[in-house]
Structure 1
Amino acid sequence: MRALTTIPLTAGSLEVRDMPDPQASATDLLVDGIAIGVCGTDKEIAGGDYGWAPPGEERLILGHESLGRVSAAPQGSDFAEGDLVVGVVRRPDPVPCGACAHGEFDMCRNGEYTERGIKQLHGYGSERWTVDQDYVVKLDPRLSEVGMLLEPTTVVAKAWEQVEQIGARAWFDPKTVLVTGAGPIGLLAALLGTQRGLDVHVLDIVTDGPKPRLVKDLGGTYHHDPVDAVAKRIRPDVVIEATGVSQLVLAAMAETAAYGISCLTGVSSGGRKLGVDVGEVNREIVLQNDVVVGSVNANLRHYRQGAEALAKAELGWLHRLVTRRVPLAKASEAFTPQQDDVKVVIEL
C-alpha cells in the first residue's frame, strides 16, 4: 500500500512510498483510508523537529487527523462494513499511570503513552489502516468529506470541558468568549462556543480571505485590532488561546472579566524572552479569582463530544473550513503554505 512517511528527526525525508499492508488482529477494524488533515505537528515532524518511529523501524507513517471507511470489522463489534470512522491518536502507557488506568490517557502522568503518527505508532496516512475497536469513533455519514476535522475538534472539546469543569467550582454563567487565532483550532473553538449560546469573538491578524467570513457565518465577531484593546472592550468571561504567540497569551489573560478562565491550546516556541511584570500578573489572577489552564490532546470522551458537535454543525460551513485538498501522490504540496489556507487535507 502507499503511505506518507518520514524518518523522524531527519529533515527532507518526507516521502510517499510502498509500505507493508496492515495486519488486523482479532479486535481490529480494517479501514480504507479516505483522508488525513495536515497540522503544525505534522509539519514539525516532517521538518525533523521530533517524532518517533515504531520500535525497530526507520520510517514513521504520518497522519493523526484521520478519516476512513470500515472494510472489515470483528464479529460482534459495534462497527460494520461501510461505517465512517476516525481513529483515536493517543494510547495509554503500558504501566499504566493512574490517569491512563482511568481512561484519561490525554492526562498521562509519566509520559509513556504512544501516539498514532507521532510517537512509536504508525499514523493513518495510508491507503489502508487498522485500529483497535476500542480506539475508534463512528461518524455521521454526512461527514464523509469533512470528518478529518474530528481530531482538531476533540482538542477544543476538551478545552471547553476544562473551562466548564473549572467554572463549576462556583457559580458560573459565561456570556462572552474571545478566541485568539482563526486557524482550524480557533475556528472550531468558536463553533463550539456558538453551540453553547455564547457571544463569540475571534481575533486574528488576517484582514481578508475566508477567515473573517467563516467567523461571521457562525454569528461571531471578527477582530484584527490589538488583543489588549479588543479584550478591554469586550471583557471576555472565557479566553480560548489558539496561537501560542506569547504576547497574545499574556495580553488576553490580563483583560478577562472577574473570575475569567483562559484555556491555552497553542504551544509557544521556546527561546523568546518577554519583559513581563510578574507581580501584576499575579495580582490580576489572585484578586480576580482568574484561572489559566493548559489543554492538549483528547481521550475517547472528547472524541464522542467532538463527533456530536460536528454532526450538529452546518455542513456547508465545515466544507469551507477545508480550503485545499491534495492527492496522496502530491502529498508534499500540503506541507507548503499557500495564501488563504485554513485546513489542508491529503486525500488517500
Structure 2
Amino acid sequence: MRGYLRGVRALTVDPKQPDSLRVSELPDPQPAAGDLLVEGLAVGVCGTDKEIVRAEYGWSPPDRQRLVLGHESLGRVRTAPPGSGFSPGDLVVGVVRRPDPVPCGACAHGEFDMCRNGRYTERGIKQRDGYGSQLWCVEIDYAVTLDPRLAHVGVLVEPTTVVVKAWEQVWRVGERGWFEPRRALVTGAGPIGLLAALVGLRRGLDVHVLDRVTSGPKPALVQALGATYHHDSVDSVAERVRPDVVVEATGAASVVFDAIASTPPYGIVCLTGVSPAGRTLSVDAGGINRGLVLENDVVIGSVNANLRHYRQAAQVLAESDVDWLGGLISRRVPLDRFADAFTAQPDDVKVVITLDGSG
C-alpha cells in the first residue's frame, strides 16, 4: 500500500492465521504516476478467497502481515492521469496478476498468466493487496473499462476471464488438426461452469451442463441460457451427449477422471477447477494412458488470465443478457456483514461483498 493519508475501510486477512478476516481502517491510497484512483463498488467471493481465509493459501505483501483481500473487482474511477484514456466515472475492473520482475519469456510477451518461473504476484492473493477496499489504486495498463450497463454485474468479469482463456486454449489445442466441435459438456454449475456454458454457446456449440443439484437457481439458469441441464453421473451423460469438449469446473477428483474418460476420440478436456490436495482416489492409470494415446485425446489445465482475456471478457458480458448475468449473483452482502459472505447458503451461486454502502 503506497502512501496513505486519511482512512478507508478494507477487508484484510493474515494468510498465515486461520479465521483472521476483519474490516480494517487504512489510510487513503495515494495514486502514483500512471495510476487510477478507484472507488470500490464490490468484490466477488470465490474458493480462492475462502482458502486464504482458512490459511491454506495466499501471501501478504513482503513488508506486512496482513493482506487486503479481493481479486474479483469492480469500481468507478475517481481520478485518472491526463491522456490515459480513462475518465472519472468510468466503470472499471483491475487485472489480478502482474508479471514477474525477471521476467520469464511468457511474461515478457504479455502472457503473464502462463508465467514459467512462478515469480508473478497477484492482487488479493500473492504479495499484492487486493481490491476489497473502499478506495484502491491500479496502474492504467492493468485496468479495463466496462460498459456502463454492467454496473450491477461487472464483478463477474474476472471469473469470465478464466473461461474465456479456457476456451481459447481449447481452440488452440483443437486446431492442431481438423477441428469442428459440435457438443460441449461443462461439469459444475457454479459461476465458472455457468460462464463457461455462456461462452461455449457463443462459440456455436450445443452445450450441456452437469451438476448434482436438482432444484434451486442452477437448473433454471442453464435452461434460460439455452443449454441443457443434467444431474446424472458424468459417464452416463457423456455416453448420451458424446461431447467433443469437456470443461471441468468442479475440481472434484472423481468427476475429473470421469471427465477425462468421457470424450470420444480427439476429445479435449480443460480443467479449470482446483482439486484439494491430500485426498486419494484409485484410478486405472494404464487405461487412462491407453485411451489418451490411442484416441489422440488431450487434457489441459487453465488458470488465471492476461489483459487480452480481460478485454474479451468485458466484451462478452457487454453483449450478454444483463438480467441473466444478474441471476448468477445470489447474494449481495454489505462490507460490515462480510462474515455472511463466507458462510455458504444452499442456493448460492456467486456471493458479492458491496463496498459502497449498498446491500
TM-score, with structure 2 as normaliser: 0.96
Instruction: Describe how 1:261-340 pairs up with structure 2 within 5 A.
Output: 261-340=268-347
Which letter does structure 1 place at the counterpart of 2:229? Y
Q: Give, in angstroms, the shift of residue 236 of structure 1.
A: 0.2
Q: Give, in angstroms, the shift of residue 258 of structure 1.
A: 1.5
Match of 1:108 in 2: 115
Match of 2:84 in 1: 77
Name the CA distance, whole Å, in 2 between partners of 1:241 and 1:27. 39
Instruction: Describe how 1:9-88 pairs up with structure 2 within 5 A.
Output: 9-88=16-95
Name the CA distance, whole Å, in 1 between partners of 2:19 and 2:192. 27
Match of 1:244 in 2: 251
Name the CA distance, whole Å, in 2 between partners of 1:172 and 1:70. 43
Q: Give, in angstroms, the shift of residue 287 of structure 1.
A: 1.1
Q: What do the CA deviations read for 1:181-231 (whole angstroms, capped 9, x no partner)?
A: 000000000000111111110001111000000000111111110111001
Which letter does structure 1 place at the counterpart of 2:302? S
Match of 2:144 in 1: 137
Name the CA distance, whole Å, in 1 between partners of 2:173 and 2:186. 18
Match of 1:97 in 2: 104
Q: Give, in angstroms, the shift of residue 23 of structure 1.
A: 1.3
Name the CA distance, whole Å, in 2 between partners of 1:247 and 1:8. 29
Gaps of 5+ in 1: none
Name the CA distance, whole Å, in 1 between partners of 2:222 and 2:327. 11
Name the CA distance, whole Å, in 2 between partners of 1:50 and 1:269. 11
Matched, 1:122 2:129: yes
Which letter does structure 2 place at the counterpart of 1:331? F
Q: What do the CA deviations read for 1:286-307 (whole angstroms, capped 9, x no partner)?
A: 1111100000000001111111
Name the CA distance, whole Å, in 1 between partners of 2:302 and 2:145. 24
Please give the secondary structure, in 1, of the residue aligned with 2:32: coil
Please give the secondary structure, in 1, of the residue aligned with 2:173: helix
Q: What do the CA deviations read for 1:218-275 (whole angstroms, capped 9, x no partner)?
A: 1111111011100111110000000111111111111212210000000111112222
Q: What do the CA deviations read for 1:130-157 (whole angstroms, capped 9, x no partner)?
A: 0000001111110000000000000000
Which letter does structure 1 place at the counterpart of 2:25? D
Tell me the C-alpha RMSD between the 2 structures.
Answer: 0.7
Please give the secondary structure, in 2, of the residue aligned with 1:233: helix
Gaps of 5+ in 2: 1-7
Name the CA distance, whole Å, in 1 between partners of 2:110 and 2:145. 19
Aligned residues: 348
Name the CA distance, whole Å, in 2 between partners of 1:64 and 1:258. 38
Match of 1:153 in 2: 160
TM-score, with structure 1 as normaliser: 0.99
| Contact 2:60 2:128 (8 Å CA) reproduced | yes
Name the CA distance, whole Å, in 2 between partners of 1:207 and 1:300. 37
Name the CA distance, whole Å, in 1 between partners of 2:91 and 2:287. 50
Match of 1:226 in 2: 233
Which letter does structure 2 place at the counterpart of 1:109? R
Q: Give, in angstroms, the shift of residue 100 of structure 1.
A: 0.5
Name the CA distance, whole Å, in 2 between partners of 1:11 and 1:275. 31
Match of 1:6 in 2: 13
Name the CA distance, whole Å, in 2 between partners of 1:206 and 1:235. 22
| Contact 2:234 2:262 (8 Å CA) reproduced | no
Name the CA distance, whole Å, in 1 between partners of 2:183 and 2:37. 44
Which letter does structure 1 place at the counterpart of 2:338? A
Please give the secondary structure, in 1, of the residue aligned with 2:167: helix
Q: Which runs of 4+ in 1 moved over 2 A?
A: none
Match of 1:260 in 2: 267
Match of 1:195 in 2: 202
Match of 1:204 in 2: 211
- Sequence identity (%): 68
